[in-house]
Amino acid sequence: MGESLTMPLPARTTETSEEMLAGLFNRHQERLYRLALRMSGNVESARDLVQETFLRAARRRSLPGGEPGREAWLVRVLVNLCRDRWRRRRVRRHHEDALPARSSAIDPESAAVARATVRAALARLRPRRRAVLVLHELEGVPAARIAGLLGLRAATVRWHLSVGRKELSKLLLTESEELGR
């Protein structure tokens, strides 16, 4: 990945215009959708998350200047939206205690089972940790760049990666056992 390891300092803000928003949408919608799908594990949620992220950008009078700043802003908004949903869902799950992804377990295809397992395990991680793991493990983004995107310190990102990997290993084991039953 040819991404730079250091994030430039946040530039001044730029006033939003229709052209700027349209350009931003064209450049980032695909990447944000994939991130949203990996974070939420659900196509409809991913679509909603992407839409809400861009609507939030449209409601602002200005956005950070420079492409890296705007990209980081979009990623952060998306991760925060995921976190809000996760909190709401956690309250609901407290009563239901059921993962929506389990319905895929009846799919005989092993790839589908693997996806269901990963989706269910990822869904149990805290959103910020999930974002760090998804960005690093699935999108191949280096830790320093993740720090810039999420507004965290590089050491915090490394800590999330280390703890998240252990947590995810346990969760994957649990999920695969539950799906195997």
| Residues of the shown chain interacting with another protein in the complex, contacts defined by CB under 8 A | 16, 18, 21-22, 25, 29-30, 33-34, 37-38, 41, 43, 47, 50-51, 54-55, 57-59, 61, 111, 114-119, 122, 133, 137-138, 165, 168-169, 172
Whole-number minimum distance, CB 67 to another protein, in Å?
A: 18
The residue among 133 and 147 lying less far from another protein, judged by its C-beta, is 133
Instruction: Please report how close the Cβ of residue 95 comes to another protein at its closest, in angstroms.
Output: 25
Residue 97 φ then ψ, to 5° = 50, 55
The strand pairing partners of 64, in sequence order, are 13
Spatial distance between the Cα atoms of 181 and 3, rounded to a whole number of angstroms? 43
Give, to the nearest 10 degrees, the angle between helix 43-59 and helix 67-96: 130
| CB-nearer residue toward another protein: 7 or 14 | 14
Using the minimum distance from each CB to another protein, give the nearer residue, 37 or 72.
37
Which CB atom, from 43 or from 106, has the smaller least distance to another protein?
43
- Distance between CA 38 and CA 179 in Å, rounded? 20
